[in-house]
Structure 1
Amino acid sequence: MRIACIGTGAIGANWVAMFITGTHEVTAWESDAGLAGSSIGRLDRYEPQLRELQMPTVRSRLRLCVSLGEAVAEAELVQENAPEQIDLKRALVREIASLAPLDSIIASSTSGLLPADIASDIPNPGRLLVAHPFFPPHLRDRRHT
């Protein structure tokens, strides 16, 4: 599966770590270039935990992108991880929906916003769902999935 992680802050970087332990091809994009480097650098800190759980990361499956369009161009799943601000999420999801394949799923990491509110002005709002993990998501127990 091709997955795009949009936003690589605390939650986004954890999603990236989880996705690259599987067989997924992952692209990542961060609007703040300075944050992207430091957030993805967190993977080094996650590696010992993941190795202990027999889930080592495969960095070759991760590609950092310079634009949102590049990150979502071939994504089957787009994991959006913007801050918990409705106007910001709406604008970002609207842009993702215009750039990603029409059949891709858009998952928003939100703990308090309603998916109907986030997707209110995109075509086919049913393609958006909430996918907010327990924290940190890279430590989920694979024996139960």
Structure 2
Amino acid sequence: MSAVVEPTSVAEVIAPPAPPAVVDVEALLAPIPGDNPVGENLQYSGLYDEIREARRSDDNLEQGDWQHEVKTAGWPKVVELATGALATRTKDLQVCAWLVEALVELYGFAGMRDGLKVMRGLHEQYWDCLLYTSDAADD
């Protein structure tokens, strides 16, 4: 028989403790060292290609005679690349959007919470000089 844990306050019943943070939001929002607090535009760097490839996954369809290994998205790699870039190289909204996507895939609502905190923080702190690049090719 398992013991029933009674809440110690009304607040615990209404709002149970939130899951721990999945990324360091403050570190991702810190200005990039140097003259430009939003860093560099990485749209044409290898980083964008690396993240796109990590996000890519093959459809799990019947392959017939042309069988090959199905590629699955590497969400941990997306988080690694995006957090590294946002903390040290750029405050790019596209990179942040990819981070949010990966955090949701890996951590569900806790990932969405932290990813959107980063997105909101970028808007609030760097609105006048934010880097944004359209990812129309992925739409």
TM-score by length of 2: 0.25
Q: Which has the higher helix share?
A: 2
Q: Which has the higher strand share?
A: 1
Return the index of the structure with the highest Cα Rg. 2
TM-score by length of 1: 0.25
